[in-house]
C-alpha cells in the first residue's frame, strides 16, 4: 500500500493468468480522500507490465486514442526541400502532411525523394498511437553527425 497526499491510500493488485504473474500491475483508491471522490470504484493499470492492450478489437500502441486530440494525414503536392549547410538532403512534391492538435505541421517524404546515403539507422524508437512505431535516422555529413535528425 502507498499513500498519496492528494488521493489517499492506494491498494495494489496482482494479475495471474495461467503460470504468468504480473505483480502490482493494477491499483486503486477504494476509500479516496474527500478531495478525490471520483476515484472510488476505479482501477488504474500499467500497460508496460502486460503483453498487449486492446481497445475494442484494435491493439493499443503507446496509449489509447484521445477523442479530443485530432491527427490528420493528408497527401499534398506542396514543395518540400530539406537542406543543411546549403546541401539538399531531400526534395519532394508528394509529401504526406501530418496535422496534429497543438503541434506544428510535419512532413513525411517518400524514401525515393531523400538522400538516404547520408542517413544511418539509429537505435532510437518512439511510439505514437496514431502513427505507430517510428524508426529514427542519424545524418552523417562531412565528418559530423546529427543524431536522430530524421
Provide the sign of the torsion angle of the four alpha carbons 122, 49, 44, 64, taken in this order.
positive
Distance CA 127, CA 63 (A): 9
pLDDT (0 to 100) of residue 129: 83
Say if 2-51 and 71-146 have the same CATH topology.
yes
**Under CATH, to which class is 71-146 assigned?**
mainly beta
Model pTM greater than 0.75?
no
Distance CA 149, CA 137 (A): 6
Cβ neighbours for 102, distance < 8 A, ≥ 6 positions apart: 69
The 8 Å CB, 24+ separation contacts for 33-36 are: 33/6, 33/7, 33/8, 35/6, 36/6, 36/7, 36/8
C-alpha cell at 88: 539538399
Q: Per this entry, what is the length of the chain?
A: 150
**Under CATH, to which class is 2-51 assigned?**
mainly beta
Q: For every one of its 150 residues, what pLDDT tens digit does the chain have, with 9 covering 90 and above?
A: 899 999 999 999 998 889 988 889 899 999 999 999 999 999 998 777 778 888 888 888 877 778 888 989 999 999 999 999 889 999 999 999 999 999 999 999 999 999 999 999 999 999 988 888 999 999 998 889 999 999
User: Domain residues of the chain, as ranges?
Assistant: 2-51, 71-146
pLDDT (0 to 100) of residue 143: 87
Amino acid at each position: 500500500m502507498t499513500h498519496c497526499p492528494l488521493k489517499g491510500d492506494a491498494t495494489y493488485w496482482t494479475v495471474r493468468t495461467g503460470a504468468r504473474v504480473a505483480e502490482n500491475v493494477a491499483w486503486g483508491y477504494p476509500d479516496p480522500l474527500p478531495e478525490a471522490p471520483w476515484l472510488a470504484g476505479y482501477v488504474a493499470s500499467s500497460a508496460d507490465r502486460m503483453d498487449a492492450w486492446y481497445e475494442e478489437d484494435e491493439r493499443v500502441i503507446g496509449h489509447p486514442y484521445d477523442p479530443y486530440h485530432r491527427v490528420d494525414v493528408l497527401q499534398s503536392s506542396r514543395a518540400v526541400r530539406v537542406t543543411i549547410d546549403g546541401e539538399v538532403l531531400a526534395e519532394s512534391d508528394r509529401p504526406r502532411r501530418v496535422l496534429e492538435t497543438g503541434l506544428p505541421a510535419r512532413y513525411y517524404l517518400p524514401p525515393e525523394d531523400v538522400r538516404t546515403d547520408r542517413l544511418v539507422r539509429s537505435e532510437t524508437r518512439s511510439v505514437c498511437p496514431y502513427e505507430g512505431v517510428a524508426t529514427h535516422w542519424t545524418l552523417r555529413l562531412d565528418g559530423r553527425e546529427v543524431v536522430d535528425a530524421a
